[in-house]
């Protein structure tokens, strides 16, 4: 677990303890309790206060548990993919994957001013490509070919079936260049 997750869990736990502390401090201040024995006598005799503290505590515990589970189980992104084999370890960086995608885009010659956004997780790679088209080719077929080429190259490079890596490639925002007409 990273530092950010640990810090976030710590902050949530501190925030969760504050309502209970404020309820007890206000109760002690209102009843002017001077000793712990007086406090326990009043709490054991005052059922309404005891039930409200219990209900608030249960709600806070449930909210905290759900937040902690959400923080722990949220998938974290990584900067590189680590492939382990018998002969050694290979790290494939974020920039290398973007370079492969850009090489496929330049080989296809259908997109101009392309932008590649990449999200790499432990067992998943999401690639989104957007750009404008400058040619009059049939874009749906060309985009489908580009998607399949990028996906094939990434699967070949990462050995995806054996490494259990899921690769998703989306080419979107492909709009033909607008031509200006002079009247």
Q: For position 135, which CATH number holds?
A: 3.30.70.1350
Count of H-run helices and E-run strands, the chain: 6, 5
| Residue 130 and residue 56 share a domain | no
Q: Is the distance from CB of 164 to CB of 143 less than 8 angstroms?
A: no
Hey, what's the torsion of the CAs at 105, 108, 111, 117, to 10 degrees?
-20
Specify the pLDDT at position 104: 86
Question: Does 63 share its domain with 104?
Answer: no
- How many domains are contained in the chain? 2
Please, which pLDDT band fits residue 1 given cuts at 50, 70 and 90? low
Are residues 123 and 108 part of one domain?
Answer: yes
Is pTM beyond 0.85? Reply is no
Do 85 and 69 fall within a single domain? no
| pLDDT(14) > 70 | yes
pLDDT of residue 47: 65
Full residue range of the structural domain in which residue 8 is found: 3-73
Asked whether residue 183 is assigned to any structural domain, the reply reads no
Burial of 111 (0-12, 13-18, 19+ CB in 10 A): buried
Residue 5 confidence class, pLDDT cut points 50, 70, 90: confident
Last residue of some domain: 73, 89, 112? 73
């Amino acid at each position: 677990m990273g530092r950010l997750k640990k810090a976030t869990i710590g902050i949530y736990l501190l925030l969760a303890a504050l309502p209970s502390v404020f309820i007890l401090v206000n109760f002690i201040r209102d009843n002017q309790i001077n000793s712990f024995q007086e406090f326990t006598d009043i709490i054991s005799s005052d059922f309404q206060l005891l039930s409200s503290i219990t209900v608030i505590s249960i709600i806070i515990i449930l909210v905290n548990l759900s937040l902690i589970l959400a923080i722990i189980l949220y998938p974290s992104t990584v900067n590189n993919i680590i492939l382990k084999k018998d002969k050694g370890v290979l790290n494939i960086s974020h920039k290398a994957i973007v370079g492969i995608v850009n090489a496929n885009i330049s080989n296809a010659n259908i997109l101009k001013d392309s932008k590649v956004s990449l999200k790499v997780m432990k067992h998943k790679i999401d690639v989104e490509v957007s750009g404008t088209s400058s040619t009059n080719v049939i874009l749906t077929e060309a985009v489908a070919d580009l998607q399949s080429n990028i996906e094939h190259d990434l699967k070949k490079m990462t050995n995806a079936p054996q490494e259990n890596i899921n690769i998703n490639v989306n080419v979107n925002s492909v709009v033909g260049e607008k031509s200006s007409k002079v009247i």
